[in-house]
Structure formats: C-alpha cells, structure tokens
Amino acid sequence: MKIKIKDGVTKKFLTKEEILGITQDQLPLAILSRNFYSYFATQIGIFDHTVWNHFMWMIHPGKFLTQDWILHEVPAEIYLQGKHQLKFWFSPFWPDSRRAMLIAALEKEVEKPWWKHRYDLLQLIGIRTGIRELQIPWMRICSDWADFILLLDDNYEGKHLTPGEVNRWFEGQPNYCPFGRFYPED
C-alpha cells in the first residue's frame, strides 16, 4: 500500500494496516509518540508542554527503531495496540542517496554493543535543569536520535532536543509535512 502525497499533504490519519503496509521505498520516517499510560512519559510531556514524549525512526517496514533503555528495533504492532498516539514526519525533498545513508547509519548504530546505546539518564537531569550539555558523551536519550536528520537535511538545528522540540522544529520547516498520524481507536 502506498500513501498518496499530493501537494505535500498526506492522508491525515493512518490505520494499523496502512502503517504495517508502509514500504521500504517510503522510508525512513521520523516518528513522535505519545504514551497514554506511562507516568514517566507523561512527565516528559508536562515538562515540555507537549503531548509528544518519545522519538523513533521507521527504517524497515513493519518495525520501529526505538530507544527505551537501549536502542533496538521492535515490531510496529507494539505501538499500535491502543496505548500510543503516533505522528510520522517526512520530506518529499529527501534525496534517495541521503535516505539510504541515514538508514545505513542507524542500522550501524543498532549493531553496536548494547552499552554503546544505553539511555542517558544524566541528560534528562541536564534538560530539566537547563544544562543541555550535561550528559555522558557516548549515550543518548530517544530524541537525540533525531540528530540523524542532519544526514538528510543540512539545515537541521537540533542538538539535545526533547521530543516536543523535535516536533516544533518539523512544524517550522517548509519542506516537511506529516506523513500521517495514528490515533488508537480503543
């Protein structure tokens, strides 16, 4: 199934089947998530004044590259069971060569030993206290993976952004639009 793009606008809401039917030639997609049932995720949203509390990538059909305690790929179905609202971002201006470069770079990251892509709790303290540089150098939080947008777009201005800030950056860019949204029906 192909999502039709007309004048930079896509179908607003996607079904589970449409998300699971996204093909490799439509990837990568940046994904923002809102977990309705997690205390930790809710606190991130409250702090950031947004509904978005998690950032992920879709680089392979039917799978999301996500970081909870470590970076790993999970079946997309995990996020389609009624606990998450999703927003998929893309740009029709991403060159195929750069899209392939981003996918390869993220595949290389996930192959590294688990301790090289653990969740950086210290960085959360840094964001909370306004000292964004406070972090363990080789570690990341989920939204730090958005920095890989630099492989697609030299104009990306993020560094240690929160999920809400990543969303606001996308919203402010003329060459980006939501690929689609998912809102659980349950």
The pLDDT tens digits for 34-87 are: 875 554 555 555 556 567 778 899 999 999 998 877 788 999 999 999 888 999
Instruction: Report the share of the chain in percent with pLDDT over 90.
Output: 43
pLDDT at 97: 95
For residue 1, pLDDT over 50 is answered with: no
Q: Is 16-182 in CATH node 1.10.760.10?
A: no
**34 vs 45: CA distance, rounded Å:** 8
Q: Which range has the worst mean pLDDT, 67-81, 90-104, 106-120?
A: 106-120
Structure tokens at 119: 């969740």
Secondary structure class of 161 (helix, strand, coil): coil
Q: Which of residues 4 and 155 earns the better pLDDT score? A: 155
Identify the helix (H) or strand (E) that includes residue 90.
Answer: strand 84-90
Q: Omega before 28 cis (within 30°)?
A: yes
pLDDT band at 26 (very low <50, low <70, confident <90, very high): very high
Structure tokens at 66: 């996500």
**DSSP class of residue 168?**
H
Domain coordinates of the chain in residue numbers? 16-182
Structure tokens at 40: 């930790």
For residue 102, pLDDT over 70 is answered with: yes
pLDDT at 44: 56
**Hunting for tokens 């007309």 — which residue is that?**
6
**114 vs 111: CA distance, rounded Å:** 8
Secondary structure class of 26 (helix, strand, coil): helix
**118 vs 76: CA distance, rounded Å:** 21
pLDDT at 159: 74
For residue 95, pLDDT over 70 is answered with: yes
pLDDT at 118: 61
Secondary structure class of 110 (helix, strand, coil): helix
